[in-house]
Chains A and B, each alone.
Chain A
Amino acid sequence: MIEVRWHGRGGQGVVTSSELLARAVLREGKYVQHFPEFGPERRGAPVRAFTRIDDKPIDIHYGIYEPDIVVVIDPVLLSTNVEGILSGLKNGGYLILNTTKVPEGIARIAKEKDLKVYTVDAHKIALEVFNRPLYNTPMLGALVKATGLASLDSVLKALEERFKGEILEKNKIAVKRAYEEVVKYEV
């Protein structure tokens, strides 16, 4: 079983990215749960979402506390919420960040915990593709490239379940660009 925790802030589509991952993984015949963290939904406030993936049916229904993978779609959280981001992340787990530069504090802990850290400049991709800071779909592209959780094709098909027309096309471009541009950060 693989457990993913997504961090972002209200309005950035963090819940959508977790849902799209779930839909992509379902297409590959796996079992999945996706659930947002519920509370007052406020634009700009920190938000988390969760995806649980397995090869066999998932019987459990409780929160994810020790994720294998953490995706931070919002670069601001890298300085404001380091503790929250790294909380419970398993040793040897994945950390997928929307940044060009890994902050020193995170780099140090990544080394201690033997994390696999990947970065992508989703901010730049989002501004170029959407002209708005929409980080969710590019971060999904970066995640599947870094971890192999789902194929690029499954992600693009999942986008088709959710979006139409110009928005679909732009999201496809954003996913593909992040898929290409994500790089491994050597801890």
Chain B
Amino acid sequence: MARIVGMNGDTAVAYAVKQADVDVIAAYPITPQTIIVEKLSEYVNNGELNAAYVPVESEHSALSACVGASLAGARVFTATASQGLALMYEILYIASSLRTTIVMALGNRAFSAPINIHCSHDDAYAVRDAGWIELFAENVQEAYDLTFQAFRIAEDKNVLFPTIVNLDGFILTHSLEGVNVFEDEEIPKFLPPKEPVNPIDPEKPVSYGPLDLFDYYIEHKKQQAEALKASYPHILKVFEEFREFSGRSYKPLKTLSMEDAEVAVIILGSAAGTVRDVVRKLREKGEKVGVVSLTLYRPFPQEELVKVLKGVKAVAVMDRSYSYGSPGAQLFMDVAATLINVRDKPLLFNVIYGLGGRDLKPEHVVQVFEHAKKVAKEGEVPEKEVWIGVRE
């Protein structure tokens, strides 16, 4: 019997982390993720969750504590956003290179300056090169579901990479929606206790994080690169097992009306649903439009994306961030690099939207599709970069 509980994104993540029975939480509160760590500290304090909650003095220390705990064999969780993620930056690469299995919730928030507490994907993109697996939730149910899947993925012996669940700041972290929750006793069927690999063991000592110069560093990096690529089919397997467990299906790419689409939008996060809603309405008018959103952002689902974009004439790649001085914002560059050697590829342009929580309304999405139709019709891209919802 399904049990629906009204929860906001933060509460849903905290509840999933509690049900995942984590051993160690080290986190520092920052808006819009604060509710997650507040809830978890309550659970620990009330005895509802038997975990070590490590109160730290900064995000740098939070992630450092998580690295140690993960290597010791613990199931570990942290959460942060924006400036907090920036302060973790040094440890992000260490966490992945040491193959820890930390799960992090990232309440996506714009980087300063100016100070803004609302949603951009700056922080999510800041991790794109760091060797973490990144998942994007599009609603509160997905934030809850993906948290369980993140633990399974990170701790899978064929994966062993730290994993982030991105949820849009405020739009998901602070919005209440109905969530179909599991009963505690069901969880081990999908997420059994962690089986540590190379745990810190005084009887069998090993050295972690040694100096590694030109004689071995590049081998270690090549190994890490190949391991993240090789994790892909195992991530799909976790998605599939989650579907069997819950009845809810997750895929690297979510598509709507892509079969015969002539123009399409590619997007991440909570705005995907708004685009889908517009696509449904435009389809009723007979327009051949479609939308792709990515649940799995790293490793990037290249082959699937090439497949779904086959036959599409123009694609608007929508970024809720900006990459200053780059040939395009982050998702745009990912998509462009994915398609670079494909014959008969669609024309691409980059849409910058929603920075700092600026609402993406249906009329904005209609504008994007109008632009895409023009590109498709004329066969050229007059403006590679289009800002939408900005006062000119």
| Interface SS, A side | mixed
Tell me whether B273 and A60 are in contact (CB under 8 A): yes
Contacts of A62 in B (CB 8 A): 271, 274, 359-362
Tell me whether A61 and B170 are in contact (CB under 8 A): no
Contacts of A59 in B (CB 8 A): 139, 273-274, 276-277
A38-B170 contact given A33-B176, A33-B177, A62-B361, CB 8 Å threshold: yes
Tell me whether B277 and A22 are in contact (CB under 8 A): no
B379 at the interface (CB under 8 A from A): no
B120 at the interface (CB under 8 A from A): no
Nearest 7 pairs of A and B residues by beta carbon: A59-B273, A61-B270, A35-B175, A34-B176, A23-B6, A60-B274, A26-B178
Contacts of A36 in B (CB 8 A): 174
A173 at the interface (CB under 8 A from B): no
The CA-CA distance from A32 to B4 in the complex, in Å, is 11
Binary CB contact string for chain A from 24 to 42 against chain B (1 if under 8 A, 0 otherwise): 0010000111111010000
Tell me whether B178 and A31 are in contact (CB under 8 A): yes
The distance from the CB of A137 to the nearest CB of chain B, in whole angstroms, is 16
B99 at the interface (CB under 8 A from A): no
Binary CB contact string for chain B from 1 to 13 against chain A (1 if under 8 A, 0 otherwise): 0001010000000
Contacts of A38 in B (CB 8 A): 117-118, 170, 174, 357
B104 at the interface (CB under 8 A from A): no
Tell me whether B175 and A26 are in contact (CB under 8 A): no
How many chain B residues touch A (CB < 8 A): the figure is: 26
B314 at the interface (CB under 8 A from A): no
A32-B176 contact given A38-B170, A61-B139, A62-B274, CB 8 Å threshold: yes
Most central of A32, A36, A60 by chain B CB within 10 Å = A60
A187 at the interface (CB under 8 A from B): no
The CA-CA distance from A49 to B4 in the complex, in Å, is 22
A3 at the interface (CB under 8 A from B): no
Contacts of B138 in A (CB 8 A): 61
Contacts of A65 in B (CB 8 A): 361
The distance from the CB of A56 to the nearest CB of chain B, in whole angstroms, is 12
The CA-CA distance from A58 to B276 in the complex, in Å, is 11
A121 at the interface (CB under 8 A from B): no
Tell me whether B6 and A35 are in contact (CB under 8 A): no
Closest-by-CB residue of A relative to B5 is: A26
Contacts of B172 in A (CB 8 A): 61
The distance from the CB of B248 to the nearest CB of chain A, in whole angstroms, is 12
A and B contact pairs by CB, cutoff 8 A, 6 listed:
A32-B178, A35-B176, A38-B118, A60-B274, A61-B172, A61-B274
Contacts of B270 in A (CB 8 A): 61
Sorting the interface of chain A by its residue count into under 10, 10 to 19, 20 to 34 or 35 or more gives 10 to 19
The CA-CA distance from A172 to B118 in the complex, in Å, is 35
Tell me whether B175 and A61 are in contact (CB under 8 A): yes
B171 at the interface (CB under 8 A from A): yes
The distance from the CB of B145 to the nearest CB of chain A, in whole angstroms, is 14
The CA-CA distance from A65 to B362 in the complex, in Å, is 12
Contacts of B6 in A (CB 8 A): 19, 22-23, 26, 32, 34, 161
The CA-CA distance from A19 to B5 in the complex, in Å, is 12
Most central of B4, B138, B170, B177 by chain A CB within 10 Å = B177
Apart from the given pairs A36-B174, A38-B357, 14 other A-B contacts in the complex at a CB distance below 8 Å = A26-B6, A26-B178, A31-B177, A32-B178, A34-B6, A35-B170, A35-B171, A58-B177, A59-B139, A60-B274, A60-B277, A62-B271, A62-B359, A62-B362
A84 at the interface (CB under 8 A from B): no
Tell me whether A35 and B174 are in contact (CB under 8 A): yes
The CA-CA distance from A62 to B139 in the complex, in Å, is 12
Instruction: Give which listed residue, A23, A31, A33, A161, contacts B175 with CB less than 8 A.
Output: A33
A63 at the interface (CB under 8 A from B): yes
Interface residues of B in 359-380 (CB under 8 A from A): 359-362
The CA-CA distance from A22 to B171 in the complex, in Å, is 16
Contacts of A63 in B (CB 8 A): 359, 361
Tell me whether B360 and A34 are in contact (CB under 8 A): no
Tell me whether B171 and A61 are in contact (CB under 8 A): yes
The distance from the CB of A55 to the nearest CB of chain B, in whole angstroms, is 13
Interface residues of B in 267-284 (CB under 8 A from A): 270-271, 273-274, 276-277
Contacts of B273 in A (CB 8 A): 58-61
Tell me whether B174 and A32 are in contact (CB under 8 A): no
Binary CB contact string for chain A from 106 to 121 against chain B (1 if under 8 A, 0 otherwise): 0000000000000000
Tell me whether B271 and A61 are in contact (CB under 8 A): yes
Contacts of A33 in B (CB 8 A): 175-177
Binary CB contact string for chain B from 142 to 157 against chain A (1 if under 8 A, 0 otherwise): 0000000000000000
Contacts of B175 in A (CB 8 A): 33-35, 61
A19-B176 contact given A26-B6, A59-B276, A60-B274, CB 8 Å threshold: yes
The distance from the CB of B31 to the nearest CB of chain A, in whole angstroms, is 9
The CA-CA distance from A161 to B4 in the complex, in Å, is 13
Most central of A34, A62, A63 by chain B CB within 10 Å = A62
Interface residues of A in 53-72 (CB under 8 A from B): 58-63, 65
